[in-house]
Amino acid sequence: MYADRFEMCVAKVRHRFATALESKIQSTIVSADRMTRNEDCAISSITESYRRLHSIYGVGATVGFAATGAAAHDAENTLMGAYLEKRELTEDEFANLRDALARLQDVAASELRVMYERGR
């Protein structure tokens, strides 16, 4: 009985995670262009994106999206220096972020496809 209730709770969290995943990634991609500007919006975009990616990383593996969580962690790491130092991204960091987000988008799409094919 307890295991059934626990699994139902995990399934609800998985569903909520899955339905918001693509929009979280897309929001981060859209805000990436603002992260290289020498303005306050760069720092707030980095902070919001860092937190968004960290939540994907933290919840992903727990609800069956291990590869997505790992890819989000990689993307999160590209923001780490700028996030901690409260500055805009360098050109290299921006290029690395773009690559990491493209990989995250691909991995997430793959894991979502598998989840929907299984009907969970």
The CATH superfamily holding the domain 2-118 is HPT domain (1.20.120.160)
Model confidence pLDDT, tens digit, residues 28-42: 999 999 999 877 789
pLDDT in tens, 69-118: 999 999 999 999 999 999 999 999 999 999 999 999 999 999 999 988 88
CB 54 within 8 A of CB 62: no
Domain coordinates of the chain in residue numbers? Answer: 2-118
pLDDT at 66 over 60: yes
Distance (Å) of CA 110 to CA 4, 28, 47, 66, 68: 27, 19, 27, 12, 9
Q: How far apart are CA 88 and CA 35, in angstroms?
A: 5
Structure tokens at 35: 């992260």
Residues 6+ apart with CB under 8 A from 56: 21, 24, 25, 68, 69, 72, 104
